[in-house]
Structures are given as structure tokens and as C-alpha cells.
Chains A and B, each alone.
Chain A
Amino acid sequence: MPEDKSIQELGLDEYKFGFHDPEDYFFRTPRKGIDPEIVAMISRHKNEPEWMLEYRLKALQSFLDRPTPQWGGDLSDLDFDEIYYYIRPMENQGRSWDDVPDDIKNTFEKLGIPQAERESLAGVGAQYDSEVVYHSLKEEWNNAGVVFMDMDSGLREHEDLVREYFGTIIPADDNKFSALNSAVWSGGSFVYVPPGVHIDIPLQAYFRINAENMGQFERTLIIADEGSYVHYIEGCTAPTYTTNSLHSAVVELIAKPNARIRYSTIQNWSHNTYNLVTKRAVAEENATVEWVDGNLGSKLTMKYPAVYLTGEGARGEILSVAYAGDGQHQDAGGKVVHAAPNTSSLITSKSISRGTGRSTYRGLLKVHEGAVGSKSRVECDALLLDENARTDTYPYIEIEEKKVNTEHEATVSKVGEDQLFYLMSRGLSEEAAMAMVVNGFIEPIAKELPLEYAIELNRLIQLEMEGSVG
């Protein structure tokens, strides 16, 4: 490690998506900070039904009442009064990229979104600060009755469905950050897949923070009706600022009987972003929910995607990969609750820590009484790239039923001098040797991703590691 550079300089210099556009918004809350007036202003600005305003205000109360959690990462530098809670970049959402202002369009071009849309996606949503600026769904899926729109449009156009499910998987007062999101949410995706419809290529949402001191609070609800299938992918980046940004999303998934939802995330926020996200799914009878969760960016991430197995034969899988470079803390993991017989789950977590980076696995496996015949396996592996890097494991297990089969395995390994010497003796530079060990380590997860995302994951890790050795 080069000792003569500051941690921040090292960490931030490596981030390749840290550019920003000029702040040219259509509407922004008149001040930083959060209070009932700001919340009401957001709701009025969106022309929401009265019940949503009430929901928001109640959530605000619970946000204000709850203390900042102390059990996870260090949140002492996060100042809720120094954040803008709503910025609307443009007046109306684009139906084609030509409707999107050049600055914003160019940003998404640089991130490769329109190209991915043409080549390999069923639909795309692109959120810029607080609002979704572009949304599309290929006609084929539209005709099949698939709904894929931003959450605000979902509330307008499918109010009954939203009212029935919104906040039922993650109640507003579940935790401080779900409460915050419930108070000021904006954007995100609303997805409904009709019974029996298999969307064979992914839907993708891309989240971009542009403004400084911005808080982004997207809200996503995905309902996969009986026997349907959907793969939803989200990506995220932000500019590098010296002040903090906050990203606090709430994602609720409902897999009806025999449905399957796969939700993949490649989170690559800039290193000044707090990423505090609540994600939870319910899997009904014989349904499957899979979270594939890649955390590469951010200053601190606290995120533990959960699956509640409420129907007999339901299955939950969580694959988590985290990379904590200098100054980063990835506090990630997963939660599975077995609440019905013959349910099964698999949690696989792979973390990599380098420099002063810290990765934490925090997981909960709970089996309720009566969930007979349930099976679960938890495997968490940590890789340390140098002496200062740190990893911790907090695997909570609560089993109330005797007739179950659970396994837990945890390993910590270090990239050894002998391993590097071996690879270098074949002509690989130290950096290439390190990258090879890391890519090998995450291979079990990368192979679960569609090829282009696996390549992207490897590429991002390589970018993060550039200049990290020497």
C-alpha cells in the first residue's frame, strides 16, 4: 500500500463514475432538512391522495422517534439536517431518450443504459435524483399485461393495488430508515407480472444521484402473480462530493404461489454515499425469491435483503458479494425466516476487504415452530487482501422447530505471499495476480449473474483495485 496518500484520496480517485452534471432542476424543496412541511410539500407537489400524505406523516413521526441504530456501521457523520430530501430534475418523464435533457441523457449514455436497453432488456427505468426521468417497457410485455412504471405513476394508475400492498412487507416503522423512506419516498419501480407470464429477459432500473447533499429515497414494489417469473436488475452510481449523500431505499417483493422473482443489484455508489436500504420479500406456496446483491461502492452500506417463506415449499436464496476498499464499510448479509413447512433457503456471502476497508456479514436465520422439514444453509467467506483489512461475522440463528436441517459455514482467508508469488512467477503483475485471486473468489456468485453483469462485476472490482497494490 502506498503510505503517502490519504485514505480518502486513494479511495475517491479510483471511482470512475464520480462526474456530475450542473444542477439544473425543475423543482427542489426550498431548504435542507426534514419536517412535516417538507413532507407535505413533496406529497402536494406529487398530487397524491390524502391517505398517502397521512401515511408519510405517520412515518415521519416514527423516523423522528427512533434513535439512530448503533449496532451496525458508524453513522455519526450522517447529518439529516444537511440533506435535500426532494429534487425533481425535469417537469415530465421522458417516453423516449430524446425527451430527456442532453446533460442527463449523456450521463446515462456514459453509464451504458440506452445501449443495454436496446440489446438485452425487457424494460428500463432511469431515476435521476428524486424522479424517474425515463421509463420504457417493450410492447410485447405491455401486451402481456405486465406493469412496469415508476412508483409515483403506479400510485396514480394502480391505486388499489398499491394501497393493498404498499408497506405491508416492510411497515413504515420497521426501522429508522424504512420510516424515513416511507416519509419522503419518490421514484423507484412498480412492477406487476400477471399470472403465468414469464418475462425471459430482465427489467432494469438505474439510480443516479447527481445533486450535492442529495438524499435519494426510491420505493419499489414488485408483485409476481401466480406462476410468473421476473428478473429485475438495479444499478446505482453517484458523483463524488466532499459532503455526504444519502441513499435510503425500500424494496418490497411479493412472490405469489409458484412465482419466481430474481432481484439483482450492482451497487456502485461513490465513496461519500451512505447506503441504508431495507429489502424484504415474501415467498408464498412453492414460490422462489432470489436476491443477488453486489455491494462495491458507498462509504457505508447497511443492507440485509430478507425473504419470509410464508407458504409451504417456498424457497429463498441470497447471494451477497461485497468489496470494501480503503475507508469503506460494507455491512451486508441476509435474513431468512422459515414460517411454513418444507421451505428451503441458501445464503451465500462473499466479502473482500482491502486497505482500511471493513466488511461485515450480518445474517439472521429464523425457523418458526411448525416449519417442519425445512432446510437451510448459510455460507460466508471473507477474503482479506492485506494486513489492515478487517472482517466480522454476525450470524444469528434462531431455531424453534426440531425437525429441520440447518448448516452454517464460515471461512476467512488471506491472499498469501506464496499465492501471489506463484501467479507472478507466471508473468502476472502483482495487481493482475491480486485481481485473479479476487475474481476466483467471487466466481461462484458471478456465474449466477447474466454474462454481461458478471463481466461488469469483475470489471468494477478491477477498477476499484487499480492502484491498490504496489
Chain B
Amino acid sequence: MLKVDNLHVEIEGGEILKGLGLEVGKGEIHAIMGPNGSGKSTLSNVLMGHPRYDVTDGTIEFMGEDVMELEADERARLGMFLAFQYPSEVPGVSVANFLRTAVNSVRENELSVMEMYRLIQEKMKIMQMDPKFAERYLNEGFSGGEKKRNEILQMLMLEPKLAIMDETDSGLDIDALQVVSKGVNELRGPEFSAVIITHYQRILRYIEPDHVHVMLDGRIVTSGGKDLALDLEDKGYDWVRQEFGSAAQS
């Protein structure tokens, strides 16, 4: 599904990712955990094709296709999705209008007005959102929890093959976290893969990962099963630094 090899990324001359490798199979859920400043958000933005980052070396393949030269919209049409940590506000554009435009952009055949209406209603129900929410302007004046729900709502609408979730759990109370997790589990199946990028293992109680990777200083320093997340919770990131810090520096 996703294959990242030896990825080196710079922003404004400073190297953030230093030879990162990652392979995500079909139907797999991967968690990438790491302390602040380890390059997690850079990784999610680069995977989706943010123009601000310079990829200096390495490759990103999605479903066997090299996506390095593709714009974000082309990656979206291939089935990639990024749930943003800080989604932008777009004043004057309603959530419903945005969802319609987005869904029809990634689909080969446009949905009829009625199909679209039903789809929005259905997915909003899963996310426990008030139908009035669809008329609000995109992310304008949304609380942190509303923004994250809205991100997952978009994911349910677009039905991507691969979702990258950039700290979707941060700043959520336990109720919101459960709703967001429910949204992700809704899509879980043999055709859906996800990369959950997080600082805390809390969300992994609700979305059980197949693989856990630990990221430090622009690289993945160790990988394991879901137990690795629990170890990390017990021992903390200082343990990771002691254990793998020298390797990351070398």
C-alpha cells in the first residue's frame, strides 16, 4: 500500500527527516509514536505532498506508484487522506458545500444531490454531529473537538485507501476521542490502511494498531507490535532517547 524508503526532508535548510523508512500493507493500521520535534508532523505533511517541504532524497510509493511528483489533489484522487492536526479555516464555505465539492473531486462519477445529502446525513450521524453543523463555515469558530470530528467526517465521506492521522487525538476529551476512534474503526477492513501519528498511546486503546513504530530525530528507531506502545507509556520517551538516542545521532 505505502512504501517509504530512505526519506530525507528539509525545510528552510534544516534537515527534519533523516532517512526514514516505512512500509504499510493493505488493511494494516500502523501507529507512529514519538516525542515533540521528532518529525512526526513533517512526515504526515510530506506524505500528502505539502509544497513547503523539500524532499532531498528517498522515495514514496503508494500502491506501487511513485507519488513524489504528484500534487496533493492527485494523491487524494489516488486514495490518500490526511487528517490535519490544525485544519485551515475557510470563511464563507459551508461544511456541506465543501464535502460535496471534495467528494465529487475524488469520485469518477458525481453523486446526485439526493445521494450526496443522504451520505452527509448518514456520516454525520456516525460522528454524532448536529445536522446544523453542515451549514457552518468550514472550521471557522470550531472548537478543537469539532475540528477533529470534522476531519474524520471528511475521511468517512471520501473513503480513502490510506488515512494518515496527524495527532488527531491531541486536545480531545475522552468522549470526543471515542467518537473519533469510532469513525476510524468504521472504515477498518481489508481495503483500508491507516498511519496514526501520535504523542500518546491513549488513542491506541480505541484503535488497536497492528504495528507500532517509534520515531526519534527524523528516523524510525524501533518497531514492534501493540505492546511496544504500552512499554513506551510505562518507560517514557527518555527511555527511548537513552536506548536509541546515540543511534539517531550517528
Contacts and interface: CB of A to CB of B under 8 A. Distances in A.
Interface of A: 416-419, 421-430, 432-433, 436-437, 439-444
A416 B75 CA distance: 20
Contacts of B226: none
A424 B50 CA distance: 10
A417 B52 CA distance: 8
7 contacts: A423-B90, A425-B76, A426-B106, A428-B73, A428-B101, A437-B93, A442-B92
Contact of A424 (B45, B76, B138): B76
The 3 closest A-B pairs by CB, nearest first: A440-B92, A443-B92, A427-B105
B134 interface: no
B177 to A, nearest CB: 23
B113 to A, nearest CB: 15
A418 B105 contact: no
Among B71, B93, B106, the most chain A Cβ lie within 10 Å of the Cβ of B93
Given A419-B90, A426-B102, A439-B93, 20 more contacts: A416-B88, A418-B88, A421-B49, A422-B84, A422-B88, A422-B90, A424-B71, A424-B76, A425-B49, A425-B73, A425-B84, A426-B101, A427-B77, A427-B105, A429-B73, A440-B90, A440-B92, A440-B137, A441-B92, A443-B91
Contacts of B45: 421
B105 A432 contact: yes
A444 to B, nearest CB: 7
B198 interface: no
Nearest to A444: B92
Contact of A417 (B48, B51, B76, B92): B51
Among B90, B91, B92, B98, the most chain A Cβ lie within 10 Å of the Cβ of B92
Given A417-B52, A440-B137, A427 B102 contact: yes
B156 to A, nearest CB: 13
A443 B48 CA distance: 29
Nearest to B93: A440
Among B51, B73, B77, B101, the most chain A Cβ lie within 10 Å of the Cβ of B73
A425 B72 contact: yes
Contacts of A416: 88
Contacts of A444: 92
Contacts of B137: 440
Contacts of B81: 425
Nearest to A429: B73
Contacts of A424: 71-73, 76
A430 B45 CA distance: 17
B181 interface: no
A51 to B, nearest CB: 50
A428 B105 contact: yes
B179 interface: no
Nearest to A437: B90
B189 interface: no
Among A419, A426, A430, A443, the most chain B Cβ lie within 10 Å of the Cβ of A426
Interface in B98-134: 98, 101-102, 105-106
Interface residues of B, number: 31
B158 interface: yes
Among A430, A440, A443, the most chain B Cβ lie within 10 Å of the Cβ of A440
B90 A427 contact: no
Contacts of A432: 101, 105
Interface in B70-88: 71-73, 75-77, 81-82, 84, 87-88
A419 B89 CA distance: 7
Contacts of A430: 71, 73
A419 B90 CA distance: 7
B116 to A, nearest CB: 15
Contact of A427 (B50, B73, B93): B73
A271 to B, nearest CB: 26
B110 to A, nearest CB: 12
B158 A427 contact: yes
Contacts of B105: 426-429, 432
Interface string B45-81: 1001111100000000000000000011101110001
Contacts of A421: 45, 48-51, 72
A110 to B, nearest CB: 28
A430 B71 CA distance: 9
Contacts of A428: 73, 101-102, 105
B201 interface: no
B193 interface: no
Contacts of A418: 88
Contacts of B51: 417, 421
B168 interface: no
Given A417-B51, A417-B52, A436-B98, A426 B92 contact: no
Interface in B195-235: none
B91 A427 contact: no
A436 B71 contact: no
Contacts of B50: 421
Contacts of B72: 421, 424-425
Contacts of B84: 422, 425
Among A427, A432, A436, A444, the most chain B Cβ lie within 10 Å of the Cβ of A427
A421 B45 CA distance: 9
A218 B91 CA distance: 38
